[in-house]
C-alpha cells in the first residue's frame, strides 16, 4: 500500500494496527461510537501495508504530537523555532500549518508558568467561579498549591464549581481575562471552550497530600455525595496497578473476586497483566487464563465495570491503611 493515496482515516487505522491491540483498546476509550465504528471498518478493510509505510505513519504521528506539545508549552512561535531546529524549516512549517486550524490560544496562558504564590495573590479576592475557571487551566500541581491556601469551605466550593463548569461561554472567559489583564497581561481567543470537569479535579486531588484529599472529599461529600463518588471513582485507575509494588498487589488480590479479575484482564495492558500474573500461583494464573478463554467475547462496559470493582477494592484498602497509594509525580507516584 502506497502512502500517497492514504486518507487520514487510513493512516489512523494503520497506526492503531501498528500500536497493537492493548494500546489501541486504550485509545478506543476516547472515541465516540461513530468514530469507533468508522475506525473498526477501516481497520478490517486494511490489507497489506509495507514496513516502510508503517514507519512513515508512526513518524508523522510522532512529529504531530511533538508539534502540539511544543505549542502547548510555549505557543506557536516557540514551537516553530524548536521544530525548525529539529526537522527543518519546511517540515516545521507544514506541521504548524496542519495543526493551525485546531489550535486555540490557551486561556490564562500568561500565568501558566507563574509561581503558585503569585497566582494566589492574583485571584484570591476574585469570585469563586473566576477562581475555578483559572484553576482549570493552570497545572494540577499549581492548582493544588493554590487550593490548599483557601479556607476549607471555599476549597469545596471551588472544587464543586470546577466539576460542574462544563462548556464555558467565551464572553465569560474573556471577561475574566480582562479583569486579570489589569494585573498581568492580555490574551484573546474565540469559540466555546471546554473547561473543568472530573479530569481537572482528579489531577488536582491527586496532587494533594492524603490528609488534604480526605478532608476535601469529606466536606464535598456532605454537599454533593453523588458528585464526590464520581471523583473517587476516577482517583485511581485500573492501569495504575502496574505502578504498585508486589506486596501491595498480593494484598489486593486477596480481596478481589477471581471472576472479576478474569474479566478485567480482557482489556488490561501488558504491564498490568504481567504484575498480576507474577503475583499469583501458577495454578491460579492458569485458571484465570482458562476462564478468559472460556468466557469468550465480553462487552467493553462489563470489562470496565469489573475493573472499577477492583479499583474500589484498592481504594478501600488504601483508606484502611493496608496499602499505601502515595501522592507525587512521575514514576514514583504509587508505592
Domain boundaries in the chain? 3-100, 109-234, 236-332
Query: For residue 1, what pLDDT is reported?
Result: 46
Q: Does 236-332 match 109-234 at the fold level? A: yes
**Residue from 246, 113, 248, 105 nearest 184 by CA:** 113
DSSP helix/strand/coil, 197: coil
Query: For residue 78, what pLDDT is reported?
Result: 67
Residue 254, pLDDT > 90, answer yes
109-234 is classed CATH 1.10.3720.10:
no
- What is the arithmetic mean of pLDDT over 249-272? 93
C-alpha cell at 169: 461561554
Residue 282, pLDDT > 90, answer yes
Looking at per-residue pLDDT, the higher value among 32 and 226 belongs to: 226
Report the 10 Å Cβ neighbour count for 48: 6
Confidence of residue 14 (pLDDT cuts 50, 70, 90): confident
Query: For residue 63, what pLDDT is reported?
Result: 77
Query: For residue 120, what pLDDT is reported?
Result: 82
Confidence of residue 194 (pLDDT cuts 50, 70, 90): very low
Q: Which CATH class is domain 236-332?
A: mainly alpha
Q: Return the minimum-mean-pLDDT range out of 133-137, 149-153, 211-215, 272-276.
A: 211-215
Percent of the chain with pLDDT over 70: 73
- What is the arithmetic mean of pLDDT over 208-231? 78
The alpha carbon of residue 157 and the mean position of all alpha carbons in its chain are separated, in whole angstroms, by: 23
143-176 per-position pLDDT tens digit: 888 888 888 888 888 888 888 776 666 667 777 7
Would you say 250 and 2 are in contact if contact means Cβ atoms under 8 Å apart? no
DSSP letters of 244-286? Answer: S-HHHHHHHHHHS-HHHHHHHGGG--HHHHHHHHTTS-HHHHH
Query: For residue 263, what pLDDT is reported?
Result: 93
- What is the arithmetic mean of pLDDT over 62-69? 74
Amino acid at each position: 500500500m502506497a502512502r500517497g493515496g492514504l486518507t487520514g482515516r487510513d493512516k489512523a487505522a494503520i497506526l492503531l494496527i501498528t500500536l497493537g491491540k492493548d494500546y489501541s483498546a486504550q485509545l478506543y476509550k476516547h472515541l465516540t461510537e461513530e468514530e469507533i465504528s468508522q475506525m473498526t471498518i477501516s481497520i478490517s478493510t486494511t490489507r497489506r501495508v509495507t514496513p516502510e509505510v508503517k514507519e512513515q505513519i508512526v513518524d508523522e504521528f510522532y512529529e504531530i504530537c511533538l508539534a502540539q506539545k511544543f505549542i502547548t508549552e510555549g505557543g506557536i512561535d516557540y514551537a516553530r523555532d524548536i521544530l525548525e531546529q529539529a526537522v527543518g524549516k519546511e517540515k516545521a512549517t507544514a506541521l504548524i500549518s496542519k495543526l493551525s486550524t485546531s489550535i486555540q490560544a490557551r486561556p490564562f496562558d500568561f500565568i501558566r508558568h507563574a509561581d503558585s504564590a503569585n497566582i494566589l495573590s492574583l485571584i484570591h479576592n476574585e469570585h469563586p467561579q473566576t477562581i475555578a475557571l483559572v484553576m482549570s487551566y493552570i497545572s494540577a500541581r499549581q492548582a493544588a498549591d493554590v487550593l490548599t491556601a483557601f479556607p476549607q469551605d471555599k476549597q469545596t466550593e471551588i472544587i464543586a464549581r470546577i466539576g460542574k463548569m462544563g462548556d464555558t461561554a467565551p464572553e465569560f472567559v474573556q471577561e475574566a481575562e480582562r479583569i486579570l489583564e489589569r494585573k498581568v497581561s492580555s490574551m484573546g481567543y474565540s469559540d466555546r471552550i471546554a473547561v473543568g470537569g472530573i479530569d481537572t479535579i482528579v489531577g488536582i486531588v491527586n496532587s494533594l497530600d492524603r490528609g488534604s484529599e480526605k478532608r476535601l472529599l469529606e466536606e464535598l461529600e456532605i454537599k454533593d455525595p453523588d458528585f464526590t463518588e464520581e471523583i473517587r471513582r476516577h482517583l485511581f485507575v485500573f492501569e495504575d496497578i502496574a505502578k504498585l509494588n508486589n506486596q501491595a498487589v498480593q494484598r489486593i488480590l486477596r480481596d478481589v473476586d477471581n471472576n472479576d479479575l478474569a474479566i478485567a484482564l480482557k482489556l488490561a495492558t501488558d504491564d498490568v497483566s504481567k504484575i498480576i500474573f507474577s503475583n499469583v500461583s501458577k495454578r491460579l494464573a492458569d485458571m484465570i487464563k482458562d476462564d478468559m478463554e472460556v468466557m469468550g467475547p465480553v462487552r467493553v462496559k462489563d470489562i470496565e465495570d469489573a475493573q472499577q470493582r477492583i479499583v474500589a477494592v484498592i481504594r478501600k484498602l488504601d483508606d484502611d491503611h493496608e496499602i499505601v497509594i502515595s501522592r507525587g509525580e512521575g514514576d514514583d507516584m504509587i508505592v
